[in-house]
Amino acid sequence: MRRMLAVTCLVAGLVAGLPPAAADDPPPTQKELQTSADNLKQIGLAFHKYADTHGHFPNNVYDDGKARLSWRVLILPYLEEAALFRQIKLDEAWDSPANKALVEKMPKVFAPVRGKAKAGETFYRGFVTPRGPFGPTMGKGIKFAAFRDGLSNTVLVIEAGEAVPWTKPDDMEVPAKGALPKLGGMFGGAAQMVMADGWIVRVRADPDPVEMRKLIDPNDALAVDFDKLRVR
């Protein structure tokens, strides 16, 4: 309960403040921030609807350990995009001729609010770790029981630093040591993320790596110091 309260207060405190933009970009507007937050909320809700049906969260589609399609494809039916989902060939890679032609049909919920991205690219990505929601070690997808730190203490999807084609299974690899992947491609100094329970949290684009790793790992039993993640 105390941890949940900390997350709630963090969100409330940051919504009112606008993070700095990149040097060549105008400051982000509250509408842009809210639009991306709403997108993340929809994505988080789609994950839970998927889990209600399948018993686990979606993972990227793998074939003999090789990623074929993104989790974004699997949640399409839960984003009122069933027609588009039926057009995608699940037994083919994202860049097969048939599937690559659908990249330009990216749903609005994945579209960048701002930032440098090509047509059909999205900043909404997850982290690949041995125990997290995405990666070849997680099989078809992580179950609720695996979130031993609690759903409110594990990041699900975040505004990454670089955009990728929305159907491509290209989430951010987290090294065992060293720098974390780049974040904040849309809002420069900040990155919004949806936690596994649906909460939206905004952190610095260069968050404290120790505390951020705690949010990425769903099963490390470590308390998070959210003060070290706040946008300043």
Would you state the pLDDT for residue 24? 62
Q: What is the pLDDT of residues 8-58, one digit of tens each?
A: 344 434 444 444 445 567 888 999 999 999 999 999 999 999 999 999 999
Q: Is residue 130 within 8 Å of residue 137, measured between CB atoms?
A: yes
By CB atoms closer than 10 A (0-12, 13-18, 19+), residue 82 is: exposed
Across all residues in the chain, what is the average pLDDT? Answer: 89
Would you state the pLDDT for residue 230? 83
Which run of H or E residues covers position 35?
helix 30-54
Mean pLDDT of 119-143: 94
Over 50: is that where the pLDDT of 7 sits?
no
Confidence of residue 155 (pLDDT cuts 50, 70, 90): very high
Give the domain range for residue 54: 2-228
Cα within 13 Å of Cα(221), Cβ side: 0
Q: What is the pLDDT of residues 186-232, one digit of tens each?
A: 998 999 999 999 999 999 999 999 999 999 999 999 999 988 998 87
| Total structural domains within the chain | 1
Task: Look up the pTM and report it.
Answer: 0.90
